[in-house]
Amino acid sequence: MTVPTVDTDPGHAFSRYLKCLADADESAAVATARGLLEAGVPAERVLLELVAPAQAEVGERWARNEWSVAEEHAATHISERVVAAVAAYADPRPTRGRIVMACMDGEWHALPARLVAEVLRLRGWQVVFLGASVPAAHLVSYLHRYDAEAVALACALPMRLPHAHRMVEACRRSDVPVLVGGRGFGDDGRWARVLGVPWAPDAPAAADLVADERALRETPPARLDHLADDEYVSLVKRRGELIDSALADLRERVPSTANYTAAQLDSTISDLGYIVDFLAAALYVDDATLFTGFVEWLVEILVSRGVPAGAIGSTLEHYGQQLRDFPRAAAFLDRGRALVGGLSAAGR
């Protein structure tokens, strides 16, 4: 077991805490956080300056193929336990109204949202954290049973933006103001603005926003006139067909796929589906950078796992041929292919 030492700066404790996560040493991780608290560091700083950046590094190590999924899950579980320990130590008493916090349907990365929930509790709010992947109908049913000052929705993946918009509108029909957060809305909240919903870049900003009811309710309308071309709806309807055709094309181009294990085949099908889903989300908000940003990320992930960037470019070309009657989708796919070509030329 790693023996923790006391420090009053969460930044100084970062490397030690990260080693606890790498060693799967839960007790030492909890002790590191508790040592900061006992030294007088506010609980909010421990959450935002120790746990949050460490979790971001965990994700980066998985992306670089330095950590396995199992190691990432173990580290995340330990950080969840640390958050619980920090919350128990602080033990705030609610002095303000109820906030309901939830992750979008299909979103399983709940720790960032949990950190926001705990910061809101520390600021005096009574927070009900519904956790990961909450179906819209269940969330609305909950709101009908329990009064809430606001709903805070978290989205980590931009491909969930169409679901996010539906959840936002469902909450508003229940006359509950909504705010959103998470990288799924863009680093600067650009896609939240397209959807016409208030966005907070971090936990302190979320706390300030929920305290301002006027800002929550006075939001500009969604800018979604482009959906009149029906490209998004038509693409979603063809999702299964597109994935099947892309898989058949891949098997024809790369005969070795016939020897894939079941796990490799599942992973390949998932990646083909993600391409369609991110393309659909880009169509929904009419922003090619949503799709090209995903393509760049996918190239980095797959190249780190031995898959050449050119393989992704070929799949994008196939989808482009299948969607040649979809002007916006075809243009987005062309931009994705150009990006892959540039990354390949750069040796990535």
pLDDT tens, residue by residue, 134-166 = 999 999 999 999 989 999 999 999 999 999 999
Quote the pLDDT of residue 11.
82
The phi-psi region of residue 138 (left if phi > 0; otherwise alpha if psi is between -120 and 50; otherwise beta) is: alpha
User: Both 107 and 217 in a single domain?
Assistant: yes
Q: What is the DSSP secondary structure assignment for residue 107, as one 8-state letter?
A: -
CATH number assigned to the domain comprising residue 139: 3.40.50.280
pTM of the model: 0.90
Hey, what are 182's tokens? 């998470």
Q: Specify the amino acid at residue 340.
A: V
pLDDT tens, residue by residue, 47-58 = 999 999 999 999
User: Both 140 and 176 in a single domain?
Assistant: yes
Confidence of residue 346 (pLDDT cuts 50, 70, 90): low
Confidence of residue 348 (pLDDT cuts 50, 70, 90): low
User: Both 193 and 290 in a single domain?
Assistant: no
Angle between helices 111-122 and 52-63 (to 10 degrees): 170
User: Both 13 and 109 in a single domain?
Assistant: no
- pLDDT averaged over every residue in the chain: 92
Is the pLDDT confidence value at 244 over 80? yes
Quote the pLDDT of residue 347.
62
Q: What is the DSSP secondary structure assignment for residue 258, as one 8-state letter?
A: G
Quote the pLDDT of residue 235.
97
Query: 223, 253, 288: which is the final residue of a domain?
Result: 223
Q: What is the DSSP secondary structure assignment for residue 8, as one 8-state letter?
A: S
Mean pLDDT of 335-342: 92
User: ∠170-193-111 over CA atoms, to 5°?
Assistant: 70
User: Both 189 and 241 in a single domain?
Assistant: no
User: Both 79 and 189 in a single domain?
Assistant: no
Instruction: List the beta bridge partners of residue 178.
Output: 151
Which residue blocks in 97-230 are alpha helix, DSSP H? 111-122, 136-145, 161-173, 190-195, 203-210, 213-217
pLDDT tens, residue by residue, 246-274 = 999 999 988 888 888 998 899 999 999 99
Query: 49, 74, 91: which is the final residue of a domain?
Result: 91
Half-sphere exposure of residue 94: CA atoms within 13 angstroms, side-chain side: 12
CATH number assigned to the domain comprising residue 299: 1.10.490.20
If one counts the domains in the chain, the total is: 3
Hey, what are 119's tokens? 């910061």
Is the pLDDT confidence value at 2 over 80? no
pLDDT tens, residue by residue, 208-240 = 999 998 888 888 899 999 999 999 999 999 999
pLDDT tens, residue by residue, 85-106 = 999 999 999 999 999 999 998 8
Which residues constitute the domain of residue 237? 227-346
Quote the pLDDT of residue 310.
82
Quote the pLDDT of residue 5.
52
Rounded to an integer, what distance in angstroms lies between the CA atom of residue 241 and that of residue 236?
10
User: Both 196 and 250 in a single domain?
Assistant: no
User: Both 59 and 117 in a single domain?
Assistant: no
Rounded to an integer, what distance in angstroms lies between the CA atom of residue 178 and that of residue 18?
34
User: Both 127 and 211 in a single domain?
Assistant: yes
Sheet holding 178-181, edge to edge: 126-129, 98-103, 150-154, 178-181, 199-200
Query: 169, 193, 223: which is the final residue of a domain?
Result: 223
User: Both 78 and 133 in a single domain?
Assistant: no
Q: Specify the amino acid at residue 291.
A: F
The greatest distance separating any two alpha carbons of the chain, rounded to the nearest whole angstrom, comes to: 64
Rounded to an integer, what distance in angstroms lies between the CA atom of residue 33 and that of residue 47?
9
Contacts of 32 (CB under 8 A, 6+ apart): 4, 13, 16, 17, 20, 50
Q: Specify the amino acid at residue 50.
A: L
Say how many residues make up the chain. 348
Say if CB 150 and CB 177 are below 8 A apart: yes
Rounded to an integer, what distance in angstroms lies between the CA atom of residue 207 and that of residue 204?
5
pLDDT tens, residue by residue, 105-137 = 888 989 999 999 999 999 999 999 999 999 999
Half-sphere exposure of residue 324: CA atoms within 13 angstroms, side-chain side: 4
Quote the pLDDT of residue 58.
95
User: Both 289 and 186 in a single domain?
Assistant: no
Confidence of residue 6 (pLDDT cuts 50, 70, 90): low
User: Both 170 and 102 in a single domain?
Assistant: yes
CATH number assigned to the domain comprising residue 19: 1.10.1240.10
